[in-house]
């Protein structure tokens, strides 16, 4: 038996991963070594624009999202692609070592990429922590909290008479009476069976 559902109970946080030219929301972040030179890993989907950018850059930033983060920041960085929209046009950032850091965060970590591992769906980028700071004392948001509250966080609206289908994995919303036959979530690629109907 391989009940993959249990992997969803691995506790993770909520971050905006940025590098030169783009960024996206990630939860697949771990500290994999500590001591004087902590190592941080982040798994980035191969079809994300941010993945291509990370292959061209040497440094990334992780902005840690707090419990009071604006849900619009999550939709901008997590539910749309820099291929289609300029994610930075309505978001306040400041530069650290040339990388944009999200102001609406509780702190940041700047990492220099020291290793990459190509896996089936994601590339694992391992970075050496080179600079970091705490911005405020808000509590970090967990991925589990996001999953439980994503409808109110993302303020999913259904116009009168319009049906919304919400991806239970990432929160992407499809508007329409029925999901197309071979529909896959454009953000996280899961099938239509993982969408929940909201009328």
Ligand X SMILES: Cc1cc2nc3c(=O)[nH]c(=O)nc-3n(C[C@H](O)[C@H](O)[C@H](O)COP(=O)(O)O)c2cc1C
Q: By the criterion CB under 6 A, which residues form the site for ligand X?
A: 22, 24-28, 43-45, 48-50, 74, 78-83, 146, 170-171, 187
The least CB distance from residue 2 to ligand X, in Å, is: 21
The least CB distance from residue 154 to ligand X, in Å, is: 9
Nearer of residues 79 and 101 to ligand X, judged by Cβ: 79
Nearer of residues 37 and 117 to ligand X, judged by Cβ: 117
Nearer of residues 26 and 173 to ligand X, judged by Cβ: 26
Give buried/exposed letters for 57-83 (b at 16+ CB in 10 A, else e).
Answer: bebbbbbbbbeebebebbbbbbbebbe
DSSP assignment of 159-176, as one string? -TT--EEEETTT--EEES
Nearer of residues 44 and 129 to ligand X, judged by Cβ: 44
Question: Which residue is nearest to ligand X, using beta carbons?
Answer: 78
Nearest Cα to 184, choosing from 76, 47, 53, 49? 47
The least CB distance from residue 50 to ligand X, in Å, is: 3
DSSP assignment of 58-95, as one string? SEEEEEEPBTT--HHHHHHHHSS-TTTS-TTTTS-EEE
The least CB distance from residue 128 to ligand X, in Å, is: 20
């Amino acid at each position: 038996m391989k009940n993959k559902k249990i992997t969803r109970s691995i506790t993770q946080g909520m971050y905006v991963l940025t590098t030169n030219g783009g960024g996206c929301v990630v939860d697949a972040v771990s500290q994999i070594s500590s001591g004087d030179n902590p190592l941080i890993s982040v798994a980035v989907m191969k079809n994300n624009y941010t993945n291509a950018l990370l292959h061209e850059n040497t440094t990334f930033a992780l902005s840690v999202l707090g419990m009071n983060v604006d849900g619009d920041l999550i939709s901008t960085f997590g539910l749309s692609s820099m291929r289609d929209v300029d994610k930075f046009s309505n978001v306040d950032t400041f530069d650290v070592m040339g990388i944009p850091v999200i102001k609406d965060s509780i702190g940041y970590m700047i990492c220099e990429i020291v290793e990459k591992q190509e896996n089936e769906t994601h590339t694992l980028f391992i970075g050496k922590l080179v600079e970091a700071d705490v911005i405020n004392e808000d509590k970090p948001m967990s991925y589990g909290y996001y999953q439980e509250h994503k409808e109110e966080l993302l303020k999913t609206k259904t116009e009168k008479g319009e049906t919304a289908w919400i991806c239970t994995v990432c929160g992407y919303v499809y508007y329409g009476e029925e999901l197309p036959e071979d529909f896959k979530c454009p953000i996280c690629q899961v099938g239509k069976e993982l969408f929940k109907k909201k009328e």
